[in-house]
Structure 1
């Protein structure tokens, strides 16, 4: 288990030291200096779903016989209240309600949740508030209520418009329900995302092309297109299906790039495509190494303070989480990110952005000078995986294709 590090104040304790000694202490290994705190987002985890998909490694649990909505909402409010001293005075710019299947929540439950959030936190006037939804749970009136409660963006887990592939993926919706869900989203929300996967079991190039063609025909503001992977501790990891080989998968990836570009979408992150101005602001905050408070079962947080950055994890099992929250214990694990790990963690996120980042963002978000990763930058540039100048650092097309290799160059032994 990661050791618990109590956080009570945003500055390290320095006893009986004059100003000069204190200043020097902040420069010793393990201490960083942030000139300003990054933007802050809120993630809320809803851990239940109708049926666990064979590829899913998220913290989700089948809601057999229902779920304790009121008890869980009580726990979420208590969790948020307990976290307030860590984020006091900071504005929330984006909210993401993920799962699981948050659209299982009742309209009244979602309204209560949003009311609690607005009561306890200062929200930016233009906050992006996203909720994940499963096509198998779409009801027109329910989603109108969600919109009235403050949700202004949906992320819909389509995965495929092909009935054969939906069955292979263990999805609870069929191809007609997938199309109906997008139509309801179009009618109810100005902004939404469609999640799709490719390189599916027994998928042909023609079938992958048809999925992308169907998705683009709906003109969604945002598309997330993921390569199916066999994640550890999933059914597919134990019983792998027959999937397209690397060459066919690469051809599918090239097809996706060509089709989305032709339709006017910007490929702004390794798996994300958006119409101009419709990038996912919540996810951009992750990829730019911003801060996020995560509440709910198994939720993770990354929080910055002037002289340290910490990560937290809530209790994972819903029952344990609610019991611990009732006893006043929100956090199961907490650890400070060491100086030697900050470069890798920053680059692990920012290298997912196809347009890269400005060099000064590294210092702004890590409190370190760019020279801390100079050797890795030189190695990546020499391998043709990275482009950089005084205004920009970004992965090359080769770096995007071999992103794992590029990211690992920044991993310190």
Structure 2
């Protein structure tokens, strides 16, 4: 199977945070002592070198269009260390002239460096994990910042010259009502970000909340909140382009769009996942999760936690898991271009989904209906092998 190389992104995982939140199932580890931040940046560059050696032919001549520092709390790393990594990455791979470079940031004052420093280092997009502007809700979520600190942090980033800012908000929080969820949206809009991510709190396995569930709104109440918040965001000029993403015109997140369109991405850092299209098909590689093990294996084969090609029978599900999140959908031709499979591979799933009114009846596009968006998990399951 030979695939046309899609756009390429770079994901960089920074695994430490001040304290793990009770709802979080990401590969994050609470700070104990002083983590080896500088040594970790060295390990990231060694990891990138090794991936480039291993996948050289599949990456030859390709340009990085977006970079995303995720975590954990990437802003625990100083601007100088972030800049050292970016300089090293650019010396190894060509970057697009207007590459989008995002840093996830928590609003707590102990969790980020100076924003003008991040801007000088090459960051041009900041994503703030605010989650709520209600101090009682923040406490319940285990967040260590206050609503006031969140407001101050966003304004500080804007004052430093960062004009592409996302605010993460969660809804259907413990004991949250519709008025509280709408107030969170209103306060976020007042800060004039360019992008708002608005997603439902869910109980993920192996988290503190899963072990001791808090009282959450039921499904009907959560749906009412979601619909009302969608209207409020639209009225404020934020267009919904993905299940949980809303943006000002021209400010959609290019990095996440590449994920949802089944593009390629290198994943470096402890627990990072990557996807690369090559002559063997769609290749997924992930790194060992524990920071200590990752550091000990810097640039060595032991840093890789797994490396395999996606089975052709599983590709339709993996593709739909991403593409159907987009409100406008994707051209039908993209399915074959990104997976190497003929349209016949999804004929059964299309028949089931269209028969239930979940997908628009248009042979040129893969796009959910309003009903399909509400039952998106069921739509995607229609394409399981």
Question: Common fold, TM-score beyond 0.5?
Answer: yes
Partner of 1:8: none
Q: What does 1:234-383 align with in structure 2 at a 5 Å threshold?
A: 234-325=207-298, 327-383=300-356
Aligned-partner Cα distance in 2 for 1:187–1:140: 15
- The CA deviation at 1:69 is 0.9
- The CA deviation at 1:371 is 1.3
The one-character-per-residue Cα deviations of 1:341-367 (angstroms, maximum 9, x if unpaired) are 111111110000011111110011001
Q: Which has the larger radius of gyration?
A: 1
The one-character-per-residue Cα deviations of 1:253-273 (angstroms, maximum 9, x if unpaired) are 011111011112111000000
Partner of 2:362: 389
Aligned-partner Cα distance in 2 for 1:204–1:139: 30
1:100 has 2:68 as partner: no
Partner of 1:13: none
Aligned-partner Cα distance in 2 for 1:171–1:138: 13
Aligned-partner Cα distance in 1 for 2:259–2:35: 30
After TM superposition, the structure 1 stretch with the greater mean CA deviation from structure 2, 331-340 or 148-157, is 331-340
Q: Which runs of 4+ in 1 moved over 6 A?
A: 138-141
Aligned-partner Cα distance in 2 for 1:376–1:328: 39
- The CA deviation at 1:291 is 0.4
The one-character-per-residue Cα deviations of 1:127-156 (angstroms, maximum 9, x if unpaired) are 000000000047897211110010000010
Aligned-partner Cα distance in 1 for 2:43–2:133: 37
- The CA deviation at 1:185 is 2.4
Q: Number of paired residues? A: 380
Aligned-partner Cα distance in 2 for 1:350–1:140: 33
Contact 1:37 1:306 in 2 (8 A): no
SS at match of 1:136: coil
Contact 1:43 1:95 in 2 (8 A): yes
Contact 2:50 2:300 in 1 (8 A): no
SS at match of 1:273: strand
1:119 to 91, 94, 97: 91
Partner of 2:133: 161
Q: What does 1:218-237 align with in structure 2 at a 5 Å threshold?
A: 218-237=191-210
Partner of 1:213: 186
- The CA deviation at 1:192 is 1.1
The one-character-per-residue Cα deviations of 1:213-241 (angstroms, maximum 9, x if unpaired) are 11111221101001000000000000000
1:191 to 156, 164, 175: 164
Partner of 1:50: 18
1:82 has 2:50 as partner: yes
Contact 1:203 1:244 in 2 (8 A): yes
Contact 1:195 1:223 in 2 (8 A): yes
Aligned-partner Cα distance in 2 for 1:306–1:154: 36
- Runs of at least 5 residues in structure 2 that lack an aligned partner in the other structure: none
Note closer, same or farther for the CA distance 1:200–1:261 as it changes in structure 2 (3 Å cut).
same
- Runs of at least 5 residues in structure 1 that lack an aligned partner in the other structure: 1-31
- The CA deviation at 1:314 is 0.2
Partner of 2:39: 71
The one-character-per-residue Cα deviations of 1:306-363 (angstroms, maximum 9, x if unpaired) are 3411111101000001111264533121111111111111111000001111111001
Contact 1:103 1:137 in 2 (8 A): no
SS at match of 1:292: strand
SS at match of 1:193: strand
Note closer, same or farther for the CA distance 1:185–1:95 as it changes in structure 2 (3 Å cut).
same
Note closer, same or farther for the CA distance 1:75–1:410 as it changes in structure 2 (3 Å cut).
same
SS at match of 1:386: coil
Aligned-partner Cα distance in 2 for 1:242–1:365: 42
SS at match of 2:114: helix
Contact 2:316 2:383 in 1 (8 A): yes
Partner of 2:118: 146
Aligned-partner Cα distance in 2 for 1:208–1:297: 34
